[in-house]
Amino acid sequence: MKTIRLLGTIGVGLLIGGQAALAQEAPFGGDEDVAYAEALWSALQEANLVGEGRTMSAPYTGQHPHGAILDTIDGEVTVDGTTGPVIVKRNYGGEGASKETVWNAPDDYLGAVTVMFKREGYDPDNSDWFWVKYLPSGELDSNPAGVPLAGRVAKGMDQGCIACHAGAPGGDMVFGHDRIQ
């Protein structure tokens, strides 16, 4: 018997005759999560939180895994009839990235957009946050195994969105403030 752990999937497989039987589906990145993430991106565009003409906040020094320079803005959006708080973190990096260069030319340094959207009743164990990581174009990013980073990202794993944010003060999984409960 051999235990297998796939990135993006929590599962234990038994190798019998060369076939693996996964005990559980991935907690994120499925068709429903991808569709919801696409609807969320549209709502973020309508609110001018992402895309061309987006509202900017003051860039600040970031840290791994998000980026060397960050810009975070929060608000409220409606997705598929659910209105909730949203936190949008724009992750900047690359040669020459600084607070000043990002402020003056953000698109030149934008590497990813990470989002937390609170969906009432979605994941009570983790404050009902829907997690997603987009490329600058709005396309979903994926982990090294090709699983889209949308939904309950890395739920039950030692690393990832939920594992990291579980350590945020205030019990709301949000670093930097306790405004969103």
pLDDT at 157: 72
Q: How many helices (H) and strands (E) does the chain have?
A: 3, 8
Give the model confidence (pLDDT) of 122-151 as tens digits.
888 888 889 899 999 999 999 888 889 998
28-52 as b/e: b if 16+ CB within 10 A: bbbeebbebbbebbebbbebebbee
Looking at every residue in the chain, the average pLDDT score rounds to 79
- Whether residue 5 has pLDDT greater than 60: no
Q: Residues 150, 103, 93, 116: what is their CA dihedral angle, to the nearest 10 degrees?
A: -20
Buried b (16+ CB within 10 A) or exposed e, 96-129: ebebebbeeebeebbbbbbbbbbbeebbeebbeb
**Per-residue confidence band for 170, with pLDDT thresholds at 50, 70 and 90:** confident
Question: What mean pLDDT is predicted for residues 15-37?
Answer: 63
Number of Cβ within 10 Å of residue 11's Cβ equals 15
Per-residue pLDDT of 64-108, as tens digits, reads: 788 889 899 999 999 999 999 999 999 999 999 999 999 999 999
Determine the pLDDT at residue 178. Answer: 54
Residue spans of the domains in the chain: they are 27-171
